[in-house]
Amino acid sequence: MQKEAKQYQDQDLTVLHLSAVKKWGGGERHIENLCRELPNVVPKINNIVLCNSKFRFSKNFYDTKTEIIPASLSFKMDPRYVAKIINICKKRKVDIVHIHDSTALTLYILGTRFASLPPAVFSKKTSFPIRSRKQTLFKYNSPQIKKILCVSIATARITSETIEDKNKIRCIYHGTNIKDKATTTPFLLRNKLQLKKEVRIIGNIANHIWPKNLETFIFVADELINKQQLKNLHFVQIGEFSTLTPPLLNLINECKLEKHITFMGKVENAANFIPQFDISLMTSQSEGIPQFIYESFYHKVPVVSTNVGGISEVIEHNVNGLLAPAFDVKKLAAHIVSLLNNQQDRENFTRISRQKLENNFTSAVMAEKTYSEYKKVLNER
């Protein structure tokens, strides 16, 4: 009877989410979706997000009734961010800390040296292996980190190679919110780019970071437009520019693709443009599972992707999409041609993908599973 009395029951719950990133991406969309859905699972929840003051969440986030607190973070171990973690946990009586990136993990572990902090869970959102450095292994294997929530089975498998307590590791697909997707955009791509009706749009949404391998995106365009002479294609890439952007733009010029590729940079509510794509093309060399794929499923746009990370867990080749090895330009190009020429495949793939999304990969399912892990942690205290 005593043990039952100590068990955590649904009650007022305060979760402190830690984010130390500087740019909006799929990981930050995960925080937004999670904070939007958790109140539907446990009504008496208070979500607080401590974020980098140099970063701004999307305007949509402010509809989640989540309290967002900015903190100074000029360098990786900025004590001002650590001080805010400690202060919030103490004053707001935080029950559990949810850490969303590796820098935030470092800052939380640093905070445990100066104060008694609530237990934490960590979301592993990429398929990068954990570095086998002493300091890195120390923070991931800290007894304060009670659960490691991996975005895919592939990520969980890679993570387990360096985590001592394998029981900490759980796979929870992030999924996407399917309740209020919008398609409103400030302009139509076809009008803005002055594309004729017969031109097909091959689209990609990704920030300009090395895992996204946007060189391959350009090389696929070169293969189809210059080598195969398919001039009725236009490649559109949406995502925040970085130091990697100038070489990518130079590559476009070298391939003489200026009239056939548009890099649009960062655009608000980028996913709203997906219904204007004929095909979604993912050319990543490393992934967890990108939101871009889930969003394409929702909008019934067929997907051609590299088979990396957890992507094959949501796309079964030739069943609900087409997969190719990373860097395999010719195979990716062949898949695009195949889809463009086969309306029945496009219809079948998008129908099955939408069904898989609704059954397995929604943010509502993600929130339920995440809360279940929260309860396990709280019951183990």
List the chain domain ranges: 2-177+362-379, 189-360
Yes or no: domain 189-360 corresponds to CATH 3.40.50.2000: yes
Q: Is 16 helix (H, G, I), strand (E, B) or coil?
A: strand
Catalogue the long-range contacts made by 314-319 (C-beta closer than 8 Å, 24 or more residues apart).
314/173, 314/289, 314/356, 314/361, 315/353, 319/349, 319/352
Of 272, 337, 279, 269, which is closest to residue 303 (Cα–Cα)? 279
Please write the tens of the pLDDT for every residue from 251-280.
999 999 999 999 999 998 899 999 999 999
Please, are residues 246 and 253 in contact by the beta-carbon 8 Å criterion? no
- Least confident window among 53-62, 227-236, 311-320: 53-62
Query: Which CATH architecture group holds 2-177+362-379?
Result: 3-Layer(aba) Sandwich (3.40)
Render 74-104 in DSSP notation, one character per residue.
SSTT-HHHHHHHHHHHHHTT-SEEEE-SHHH
Q: Is the pLDDT of residue 4 over 50?
A: no
According to DSSP, the β-strands at 261-265 and 233-238 are: parallel
The tokens for 35 are 């904070």
Mean pLDDT of the chain: 92
Please write the tens of the pLDDT for every residue from 205-215.
999 999 999 99
189-360 matches 2-177+362-379 in CATH topology: yes
Q: What is the mean pLDDT of residues 27-46?
A: 90
Please write the tens of the pLDDT for every residue from 179-204.
878 899 999 999 999 999 999 999 99
Q: Is the pLDDT of residue 100 over 50?
A: yes
* CA atoms 274, 247, 20, 72: torsion sign: negative
> What is the spatial distance between Cα 153 and Cα 279, in angstroms, rounded to a whole number?
26
Please, are residues 289 and 152 in contact by the beta-carbon 8 Å criterion? yes
Please write the tens of the pLDDT for every residue from 319-332.
999 999 999 999 99
Q: What is the mean pLDDT of residues 3-21?
A: 76
